[in-house]
Structure 1
Amino acid sequence: MTTQDLLHVVCPHCHKTNRVAQAHLFSQPACGSCHQPLFTGEPLQLDAESFAAHIGRSHLPVVVDFWAPWCGPCRMMAPAFAQAAQQLEPQVRLTKLDTEAYPHVAAPYGIRSIPTMIIFQGGNEIARISGALPAGEIVRWVNSVVA
């Protein structure tokens, strides 16, 4: 196995970086540190520290749903975003960042309306879309960007 076959995957529980063979992504890998599953099929709630870890260290594309609790369309889209996570993991990590609780994390990205989803890869923004979408549209959009 070469180092090119190894991906850095950040644990959704302890946020430690794990090296996982690409061929083993679908084998329910567990974290080497906390021994919890690396993939849960659910969107991961981020805070400032975990946002930095997942965006900066993951080799997987990371989709961040920038949302707020008072936002009706955000709450309406939450079940669809959860369905998309079930379909897209383990190739893509879906996460949520509460812009109300962590405005300093969202501010550098110039979020003008919520919900806004941004796809990050290698620490860089590669695509964004605003507005509530159904699960199928989220999956199609993510696949069109990261395929």
Structure 2
Amino acid sequence: MSASADALHIVCPHCHTTNRVRVADMRNAPSCGQCHQALFDGHPLALDQASFDKHIGRSHVPVLVDFWAPWCGPCRMMAPAYEQAAGLLEPQVRVAKLNTEDAQAIAARFNIRSIPTLALFVGGQEVARQAGAFRTAKDIADWTRSHL
């Protein structure tokens, strides 16, 4: 939590600027102070080598990451449910994806051995992990909420 208990740090999915957002404003579609785009849009954020640590380490909301690859059949099958889960979980949870082919160093750092793998980060630390595809957005949202 930030220095003030009534504000959260939220990293913009567009320009990656860290914003300070009052808790009371989280449900009112907050926008970035730098680029003025929505901080949450109900879609998974595509992370890469450059943005991963910033979003995991600086965001005060939990971050759910789907470690995936474009060649992975189960990853492609789960993608629509994961997309829908973003609408169920945001703004309480940032929903993100990391292509392990493009970010092999991060996948290695977190010892990702099978994909898809969902990992939930709170306060910059991994608190839960699940390998394998989920079938529905509700299953993804329920699993995430059960670890918060």
Same-fold call, TM > 0.5? yes
Structure with the bigger percentage of helix: 1
Residue 132 of structure 1 deviates from its aligned partner by 0.6
The answer for the alignment partner of 1:136 in structure 2 is 138
What TM-score do you get using the length of structure 1 for normalisation? 0.97
> Gapped runs of 5+ residues in structure 1?
none
Give how far 1:112 is off.
1.2
Q: 1:116 aligns to what?
A: 117
Deviation at 1:106, TM superposition (A): 1.2
The residue type equivalent to 1:18 in the other structure is: N
Q: Which amino acid aligns with 2:56?
A: I
Structure 2: tracts of 5 or more residues without a match: none
Q: TM-score under structure 2 normalisation? A: 0.96
1:49 maps to what in 2? 50
Q: Tell me by how many angstroms 1:33 deviates.
A: 0.4
Which runs of at least 4 in structure 1 moved beyond 4 Å after TM superposition? Answer: none
**Can you list the C-alpha shifts for 1:107-135, whole angstroms capped at 9, x where unaligned?**
11111110000000111000000111021
Deviation per residue, 1:44-100 (Å, 9 max, x gap): 001111111100100000000000000000000000000000010000000000001
Aligned residue in 2 for 1:9: 10
Equivalence for 1:90? 91
- Residue-pair matches, total: 145
Identity, in percent, stands at 60
- CA RMSD across the alignment: 0.9
